[in-house]
Amino acid sequence: MFRPMMPYIWVTMQSLFDPDGGMEALAPGAVLLRGQALAIDAELLAAIDAVVAKAPFRHMVTPGGFEMSVAMTNCGAAGWITDRKSYRYTTDDPESGRPWPAMPPVFRKLADAAAAKAGFPGFVPDACLINRYEPGTRLSPHQDRDEADFGHPIVSVSLGLPATFQFGGPRRADPLKKVALCHGDVVVWGGPARLAHHGVLTLKSGEHPMTGRRRFNLTLRKAL
């Protein structure tokens, strides 16, 4: 007679005492893994520093002629760029003429583990865009659609100051949901969420013990 209550009690206990086991669904195909990168935060930040020593952050210009407030760089076999010509992936850093720095193994391992947890096993990223936000900067809603095959998910890692992420649907006019992304949070999106519009609201002022007045975001993709 009391059997039917058991699954309900189990789910409640799990969400209370095992927050990592409870993945937050943002939308069908989009999963938020709270704190998934916390245990390796220092390693990730050191790897960002090593990439930036070879390929410094820069403010890219959109085809429409606007300079982006978010500073960007890349690592991996391919890197995402924008200039007056187009949005696209390149194998070389246009600033140096040399290949983008190699993808740090810690990035690849995190991406693979997070994607598998979200139901996308065997994810092998070949590109990582690194975004740097300072207070007052923002990223207007957009779709990520410069990759060759939308069958692969994207893994996104947040470090440093918290941000408000906007998450919509496949049409620009679809309503945007807001979700706070904090240091160590990882979002995986694929399947029906792969072409969802998304953006980051203007970063609020603050100080993070590991990054100071900055937020970093890694987006790991299979681009080529």
The residues of the shown chain that bind Fe ion, judged by CB under 5 A, are: 144
| Cβ 105 to ligand MD6 shortest distance, Å | 21
Among 103, 214, 219, 223, binds ligand MD6 (CB under 6 A): 219
Interface with ligand MD6 includes 217 (CB under 6 A)? yes
Q: Which one of ligand MD6, Fe ion, none is in contact with 211 (Cβ closer than 5 to 8 A by kind)?
A: none
Return the residue of 139, 159, 186, 203 that touches ligand MD6, per CB under 6 A. 139
Burial class (CB in 10 A: 0-12, 13-18, 19+), 121: exposed
| Residue choice 78, 110, 159, 200 for contact with ligand MD6 (CB under 6 A) | 200
Return the number of the residue (144 or 147) whose C-beta is nearest Fe ion: 144
Size of the site for ligand MD6 (CB under 6 A): 12
CA 168 from centre of chain: 15
Q: 7: which residues sit within 8 A by CB, 6+ positions away?
A: none
Shortest spacing between CB 173 and ligand MD6, in angstroms: 19
Residues in Cβ contact with 76 at an 8 Å cutoff, skipping those fewer than 6 apart = 100, 102, 103, 125, 126, 127, 128, 223
What lies within 8 Å, CB to CB, of 56 at 6+ separation is 73, 95
* Contact status: 73 vs ligand MD6 (CB under 6 A): no
The site map against ligand MD6 for 154-193 (x = CB under 6 A) is x-x--------x---------------------x-x----
Q: Which residue spans within 99-214 are E strands per DSSP? A: 127-133, 139-142, 154-160, 163-167, 177-181, 186-189, 198-200
Query: Are 120 and 72 a contacting pair, CB within 8 Å?
Result: no
Least Å from the CB of residue 42 to ligand MD6: 20
C-alpha 121: how far from its chain's center? 18
Cross-sheet strand order for the sheet of 127-133: 24-27, 30-33, 186-189, 154-160, 215-221, 127-133, 71-76
CB of 142 to Fe ion, least distance (A): 6
Stretch 79-118: interaction string toward ligand MD6, x if CB under 6 A: ----------------------------------------
Nearest distance from residue 112's CB to ligand MD6, in Å? Answer: 16
Q: Answer for the pair 59, 137: CB distance below 8 angstroms, yes or no.
A: no
Q: Nearest to residue 177, comparing CAs of 201, 156, 158, 151?
A: 201
Q: Which does 100 bind (CB under 5 to 8 A by kind): Fe ion, ligand MD6, none?
A: none
Question: Which residues bind to ligand MD6, rule: CB under 6 A?
Answer: 131, 139, 144, 154, 156, 165, 187, 189, 198, 200, 217, 219
